[in-house]
Amino acid sequence: MSVPNLESLEPPKVGATLQALRQLQGLSLDELSRRAGVSKSMLSQIERNQANPTVAVVWRLANALRVEMSELLGAERPPAPAIERVAAHSIPSMSSPDGLCQLRILGPIDLAGQFEWYQLTVAPGGTLDSAAHEPGSREHLSVLSGSLEISAGGSSQPLLCGETARYAVDGPHSIRNKSATEAAVALLVVLHP
């Protein structure tokens, strides 16, 4: 029986998983720091893979994010069932600071940072302003009801029910509901390079 060379083994890198879980839940570093009782600077170092957390810190982070420790550590998961059903109340969501825009996170956590999709509801007069994503990122927005206006790359376009817009999001961009009376619902897909 051969014994592996322990010097060549590296501890798991939890940074990307931690960052994806935190962003998917719409948590800032400050909020996760408060929930987990781990300093913001330590969280930042972990996310950039400049520090590896202790078991106690992984346990605190997993509890704060409501996930299993193995998910943060990148452990092998059992095979997925043929059909995975997610109850409506289990789909995470986040709202804009003014509460006029709601994003229901439809995509699985393991695709965050690569391919994300959301159900977007924008109340009358609501605007979802977004900072630039990484270069090469694109969004695809399909309006299911109501109408929206997309602003990206120094241009604005109206988008009616049934229409889809595809646009670069490596600069600031926004989605606006100019109606005074009707909410708009859309599917939003984000593709990262």
pLDDT at 119: 96
pLDDT in tens, 56-76: 888 888 888 888 887 777 654
Domain regions of the chain by residue span: 11-73, 90-191
The yes or no reply on domain 11-73 and CATH 1.10.260.40 is: yes
Q: Do domains 11-73 and 90-191 have the same CATH topology?
A: no
Determine the average pLDDT of the residues in 85-89: 82
| 96 Cβ neighbours under 8 A, 6+ residues apart | 102, 126, 127, 128, 129
**pLDDT of 122 over the 90 cut:** yes
pLDDT above 60 for 6: no
For residue range 14-44, list pLDDT tens digits in order: 887 888 788 777 788 888 989 889 888 888 8
- The structural architecture, per CATH, of the domain 90-191 is Sandwich (2.60)
Is the per-residue pLDDT at 123 higher than 60?
A: yes
pLDDT single digits (tens) 159-174: 999 999 999 999 999 9
- Assign 79 a pLDDT band (cuts: 50, 70, 90): low
